[in-house]
Amino acid sequence: MNTMRYDHRAVEAKWRQVWEERGYHEPDLDAAARPYYNLMMFPYPSAEGLHVGNVYAFTGADIHGRYKRMCGYDVFEPMGFDAFGIHSENYAIKIGDHPRTLIRRNVRNFRENQLKRIGARFDWAHQVNTTEPEYYRWTQWVFIRMFEQGLAYRKKAAVNWCPSCMTVLADEQVIADRCERCDALVTQRELDQWFFRITDYAERLHQNLDTIDWSEITKTAQRNWINRSEGALLRFQIDGRDDYLEVFTTRPDTIFGATYMVMAPEHPLVDELTASDRRDEVAAYRAQVRETTQEERVAEDRPKTGVDIGAHCVNPATGERIPIWIADYVLWGYGTGAIMAVPAHDERDFAFATTFGLPIREVISPDGESHELEAAYIGPGVMINSPPFDGTPSAEGMSKVTQHLAERGLGEPHIEYRLRDWCISRQRYWGPPIPMIHCKQCGPVPVPEEQLPVLLPDLENFAPDDSGRPPLARAEEWVNVPCPQCGAPARRDADVSDNFLCSAFYFLRYPSVGMDHVAWDPERTRRWLPVDMYIGGNEHACLHLMYTRFLTMALYDAGLVPFEEPFRKFRAHGLLAKDGAKMSKSKGNVVNPDELLDSMGADTLRLYLMFCGPFQQGGDWRDEGIAGMRRFVERLFNLVMEGEIVDTPVEGDLERVMHAAIRKVGEDLDGLRYNTAIAATMELSNAIRDSGVAQREAVETLLKLVAPLAPFVTEELWHALGHEGTIHDGPWPEYDPAKLVADTVDIPIQVKGKLRGTVTVPTGASEQEVLEAARSIPAVATQLEGKEIRKVIFLPGKLMNIVV
RNA sequence: GCCGAAGUGGCGGAAUCGGCAGACGCGGCGGACUCAAAAUCCGUUGAGGGCAACCUCGUGUGGGUUCAAGUCCCACCUUCGGCACCA
């Protein structure tokens, strides 16, 4: 063995202890001068332990925090546990344990054996655990605030029911009609549930996206989910009645082509409007639709079905009587649950009209002429067959038609959103009880604040059943309480709330952890919030991140927080794959972080994870690659520990490379481009090696550049070089732009755009000088022989292109 | 179907503004050290051709703009992610 072996175990243990004892990772929350709140999505402490995907995300976020610290900020980087939920409840049932014991064990394992080893600067004095009463008391407090603001309401509605999880799901938890957790086909059930009025905030949630500094990919997903669409509400008088059938359309300009109407089968007016001779047929169709699973209903290329109910509307534009149908391609729950069908200009209406032989009338024409339509024309054009609007461009027609109808009280402009209210109730055990009491006289009454938290009772049997009746309803002595308002016998709400409520405000709680009189201290909140940087996975774009923005806005409106957007910056990290494929237990291609922390050490693991690809795009893990990173760490170690450190000034090429590295690494860390930052530190390391000596200035600069990426070994070496304190408090090295310029420069010479050689000339050489030098290159001379130079493109210091 | 991201050596991936394609690393090959191997260090490594100086080709495909295109424009193919009968 000719080199000293770097003992990562001893070094990591030593510095972990020193950092903890000296409180390096605990900023003064009441007095910090340059507060920087560096947040990452807290994990779910599963029994399997920390996933390498978590390590990937946390490392990327931690590097950002460490870099900011070295740049002079007081960085607050808390960590916690999102530990309520079906996952651990199911697991507890499976192994016959109680979720509370299970979670305490898992949290301990996560924190002590895993999170504390990855080298992150977590402030453990401010940990949260959503399942502890001191936390969920505030979850309940938040619920009551929402109730007081009129943003929590109860409604009996068809909700998504997962027959396997035996609970309801929010719309956001249903992916292509399947439960996002267990993949079971979701059915619909009529249940009384609590909802939060997120739809009241649809416009703000949409509008603010233009003003916040978030990953574009995340904003796009949110825009998509909110699905704002501008159009009009139009009223069609029902033939023979005084009332109207209201529809939402984004194409009021096509109203002259509305040749029939379609209502959703679930529409309540269907009963009233159906002609007596159609009742049997309508009832049969509605029954059939009820039986149809959502999956079948949206299956591709499914032929259109529907029934003419024998009633008519008057088209307010043409005065025609047009038939009303019901069909399952019109959804109850979007818009008004009824549409005006314009087969000429809507693909779905076209398919339906073709199937049932309904008239198709062209009213928008790209060229102003009439055509035989083979398919719906959905593009722009001019209005035809639409007196008195003929010739009007369709874009203009939209507002003109709406205005025309509005004048007669038959419509108005309207913006519709796809976003629907957030269903909060869950018929499960392992969650925060909903702090409400149902009284026959007073209705739903909040639990008085001094009685919070409503403790989750210990149940022997907490398994759910298919009745829709929650497990807590079985705890009779817990459920039966007097009404806080009138004292009459009443019952607690026995549902628990959606876990996403727990995680929708945890970032507000972190700075105030330990204060049991207040959810979040106003002074600390003002100092530390909104969050400066939030890093997490984009899979939460429509769930956690949307709910959190909504809740923050609602709290802002209630005067409870002084800002309406919770996160100044959000960056979505990519996914870590392995050998080109997504990691999954079933494929058996998961990377075990514990083993690697043991065998390679935290620094090597951190560096290699970040080296696998651009952090915001994800990376591809290869087992063979990590050895190279370990070699890099050992080279750093040997650079300091093996040779002699020389105090001569750094000059010449090495000085230039060093300043270039300072610039490059700083810029890359700023942009979360950790893979190229690491490459740049390797280049500097290679340049020091090639220089033949280890000069103090160069070595110390290198250590500082590597410090946020590999905190342990750099701290060790920093002290080995005789320093006190910690390398991690900075300052970050500065570069001198003047030092980036070399005395001579290599200029590529192209002939007709093709590279033929390179000349080395003094920096600032003129076009003439470069051209002279270029002629002396054999390859260039050959190319120029017997030809006339037509033009010379010269970029001083960069390139010359000779055109012949 | 719509929206978004991306296609570059054997592999992961680099390449501010249109200006030397392949940084950095893995793997491979050759060498040093060693009895030998491992480890380490040094050299080399896009493909094809040539004794050589050099030449030709090359960033998913086909066109185009330009002195110059991985980068810009048009058309298309493939992969991944999101939404999806949302009127």
Please report whether residue A610 resides in a domain. no
Q: What is the pLDDT of residues A493-520, one digit of tens each?
A: 999 999 999 999 999 999 999 999 999 9
Q: Residue with CA nearest B23 C1'?
A: A679
pLDDT for the residue numbered A299: 62
CATH number (domain holding residue A749): 3.10.20.590
Which among A500, A519, A536 is the end of a domain?
A500
Beta pairing class for A575-578 and A618-621 = parallel
User: Cα–Cα distance between A554 and A369 in angstroms, integer?
Assistant: 52
Residue A590 CA and nucleotide B77 C1' are separated, in Å, by 32
What positions of strand B are covered by protein, i.e. any atom < 7 Å from a CB? 3-6, 11-16, 19-21, 23-27, 39-42, 53-56, 67-69, 81-87
User: Could you give the number of structural domains in chain A?
Assistant: 5
Q: Are the C-beta atoms of residues A308 and A358 closer than 8 Å to each other?
A: no
pLDDT for the residue numbered A93: 84
User: Cα–Cα distance between A770 and A212 in angstroms, integer?
Assistant: 49
Please report whether residue A595 resides in a domain. no
One domain for residues A359 and A331: yes
Please report whether residue A612 resides in a domain. no
Tokens encoding A191: 């249940």
Nucleotide with minimal C1' distance from the CA of A222 is B82
Nucleotide with minimal C1' distance from the CA of A634 is B40
CATH number (domain holding residue A53): 3.40.50.620
Q: Residue with CA nearest B15 C1'?
A: A676
Please report whether residue A310 resides in a domain. yes
Q: What is the rounded (10 degree) CA torsion for A652, A655, A657, A660? A: -130
Angle (CA) A504-A510-A513 rounded to 5° is 125
Nucleotide with minimal C1' distance from the CA of A630 is B25
Nucleotide with minimal C1' distance from the CA of A338 is B87
Q: Residue with CA nearest B41 C1'?
A: A2
pLDDT for the residue numbered A297: 65
Nucleotide with minimal C1' distance from the CA of A749 is B20
Residue A68 CA and nucleotide B63 C1' are separated, in Å, by 49
One domain for residues A454 and A557: no
Please report whether residue A222 resides in a domain. no
Residue A676 CA and nucleotide B48 C1' are separated, in Å, by 32
One domain for residues A705 and A788: no
A413 DSSP β-pair partners: A232
Listed residue (A464, A454, A426) closest to A92, CA to CA: A464
Nucleotide with minimal C1' distance from the CA of A352 is B85
Residue A678 CA and nucleotide B51 C1' are separated, in Å, by 43
Residue A613 CA and nucleotide B79 C1' are separated, in Å, by 18
Please report whether residue A275 resides in a domain. yes
Distance of CA A79 to the CA centre of its chain: 18
Q: Residue with CA nearest B79 C1'?
A: A580
The count of residues in chain A is 804
Residue A294 CA and nucleotide B37 C1' are separated, in Å, by 65
The helix (H) or strand (E) run that includes residue A640 is helix A626-641
CATH number (domain holding residue A296): 3.90.740.10
A620 DSSP β-pair partners: A577
Residue A656 CA and nucleotide B55 C1' are separated, in Å, by 36
Nucleotide with minimal C1' distance from the CA of A420 is B86
Residue A767 CA and nucleotide B72 C1' are separated, in Å, by 28
Residue A803 CA and nucleotide B8 C1' are separated, in Å, by 28
Nucleotide with minimal C1' distance from the CA of A755 is B20
CATH number (domain holding residue A735): 1.10.730.10
Residue A242 CA and nucleotide B48 C1' are separated, in Å, by 84
Residue A424 CA and nucleotide B24 C1' are separated, in Å, by 49
pLDDT for the residue numbered A232: 94
Which among A453, A480, A500 is the end of a domain?
A500
Q: Residue with CA nearest B54 C1'?
A: A779
DSSP-assigned letter for residue A448: P
Nucleotide with minimal C1' distance from the CA of A795 is B19
Nucleotide with minimal C1' distance from the CA of A779 is B54
Tokens encoding A369: 């002429």
Nucleotide with minimal C1' distance from the CA of A419 is B86
One domain for residues A283 and A375: yes
Instruction: Write down the residue that tokens 């009963």 correspond to.
Output: A271
Q: What is the pLDDT of residues A734-788, one digit of tens each?
A: 998 888 877 788 888 888 888 888 888 888 888 888 888 888 887 888 777 777 7
One domain for residues A169 and A234: no
Residue A778 CA and nucleotide B53 C1' are separated, in Å, by 8
Q: Residue with CA nearest B20 C1'?
A: A748
One domain for residues A407 and A513: no
Helices (H) and strands (E) in chain A, counts: 26, 37
Q: Residue with CA nearest B24 C1'?
A: A679
One domain for residues A645 and A731: yes
Q: Are the C-beta atoms of residues A574 and A618 closer than 8 Å to each other?
A: yes
User: What is the residue range of A528's domain?
Assistant: 32-130+503-573
Please report whether residue A725 resides in a domain. yes
pLDDT for the residue numbered A368: 86
Q: Residue with CA nearest B21 C1'?
A: A755
Nucleotide with minimal C1' distance from the CA of A689 is B41
Residue A784 CA and nucleotide B63 C1' are separated, in Å, by 31
One domain for residues A183 and A255: no
List Cα–Cα distances, A191 to A160, A167, A287, A423, A604, in angstroms: 10, 11, 20, 11, 53
Tokens encoding A298: 């949206």
Which among A714, A739, A764 is the end of a domain?
A739
Q: Residue with CA nearest B40 C1'?
A: A2
One domain for residues A360 and A251: yes
Residue A763 CA and nucleotide B51 C1' are separated, in Å, by 38
Nucleotide with minimal C1' distance from the CA of A619 is B12
Residue A11 CA and nucleotide B13 C1' are separated, in Å, by 31
Written as one string, the DSSP assignment of A597-636 is HHHT-HHHHHHHHHHTS-TTTEEEE-GGGHHHHHHHHHHH
Q: Name the stretches of chain A with pLDDT < 70.
A: 1-4, 293-301
Phi, psi for residue A626 in degrees, rounded to 5? -65, -25
Order of strands, sheet of A618-621, starting from the edge strand that comes earlier in the sequence: A581-582, A575-578, A618-621
Nucleotide with minimal C1' distance from the CA of A541 is B82
Nucleotide with minimal C1' distance from the CA of A758 is B20
One domain for residues A751 and A793: yes
Residue A631 CA and nucleotide B9 C1' are separated, in Å, by 24
Residue A585 CA and nucleotide B22 C1' are separated, in Å, by 35
pLDDT for the residue numbered A3: 44
Q: Are the C-beta atoms of residues A365 and A194 closer than 8 Å to each other?
A: no
A234 DSSP β-pair partners: A247, A411
Written as one string, the DSSP assignment of A270-307 is HHHHS-GGGHHHHHHHHHHHHHS-HHHHT-TTPPP--E
Please report whether residue A601 resides in a domain. no
Beta pairing class for A35-40 and A533-537 = parallel
One domain for residues A46 and A182: no
Question: Could you give the residue ranges of the DSSP H alpha helices within A317-447?
Answer: 347-356, 394-407
Q: Residue with CA nearest B25 C1'?
A: A628
One domain for residues A531 and A447: no
Residue A686 CA and nucleotide B12 C1' are separated, in Å, by 20
Residue A799 CA and nucleotide B8 C1' are separated, in Å, by 23
